[in-house]
Amino acid sequence: MEAIVLAGGRPDDPLAKKFGVASKALLPYRGRPLVEHTLQALQQAGLELILVGPPGAYTPAPSHHLGDQGSLLANLKAGLEAARSERVLVATGDMPLLSKEAVRWVVDNAPVAAFVYPIVPRALIEARFPGMRRTYARVREGTFTGGNLVLLDKKLFHTALPLLQQALALRKNPLALARLIGLGTLFGVLLGKASIPVLEARVSSLLKAPVRALITPYPEVGVDVDQERDLAWLDRV
């Protein structure tokens, strides 16, 4: 299986500017850029690497290295076009604690679906990584944070692209975004009364393809670097 690693970023990202690097994925951690920790875990898990991000000599070296296309969706599109297989693993480039065991578990346990999204229970994050701040959502089955790996069928991207572009355009307009996904579903999430199967069905309907969540027992899948406080926390790990 091929893994697309998204390591691009905005030139005005505060963390990247502070450390003088081209993207957040190049921030230093234990003497290496963050993205190299992600690449290493994916390679050790037996995946072929496609990197989309700034130029550089990375270790391990990806099989394909594509330049930053300027946006998340453009980078994903470029990576998918370079991939030979119809199903790929997509990873962010800022997962310093990712392990090969976590990657293999996700790949080996993912259900058959066009889009598989790993989620991690809050209790596992807090037990393994106390003090690490994450964003959580409460559903009937528990409280979870989203993972930074997804399994994706290439054909779904092109089908879902208009919806993805619309969702990104509305990300700062909660009311309009609520209309897009459905007020009933949104209120269910806000009140913690929605269930995973209901959410899967709603998103599957929107994307016109089967979507599944994957409750994942490896908390490192849900840990990335979003803010400077995350780097400070990593220094204490």
Q: Where are the domains of the chain?
A: 2-236
29-70 confidence digits (pLDDT tens): 888 999 999 999 999 999 999 999 999 899 999 999 999 998
Q: Which pLDDT band, with edges at 50, 70 and 90, does 136 fall under?
A: confident
More confident residue, 187 or 159: 159
Find the mean pLDDT for residues 165-185.
62
pLDDT for 154 beyond 80: yes
pLDDT of residue 169: 63
CA distance 25 to 52: 11
Q: What is the pTM for the complete model shown?
A: 0.90
Instruction: Tell me what percent of the residues of the chain surpass a pLDDT of 90.
Output: 52
CA distance 82 to 71: 17
pLDDT of residue 68: 92
Q: Which pLDDT band, with edges at 50, 70 and 90, does 167 fall under?
A: low
Least-confidence region, from 100-109, 156-165, 199-208: 156-165
pLDDT for 173 beyond 80: no
The CATH homologous superfamily of the domain defined by 2-236? Spore Coat Polysaccharide Biosynthesis Protein SpsA; Chain A (3.90.550.10)
62-103 confidence digits (pLDDT tens): 999 999 998 888 999 999 999 999 999 999 999 999 999 999
Q: Which pLDDT band, with edges at 50, 70 and 90, does 177 fall under?
A: low
Beta bridge partners of 151: 89, 116
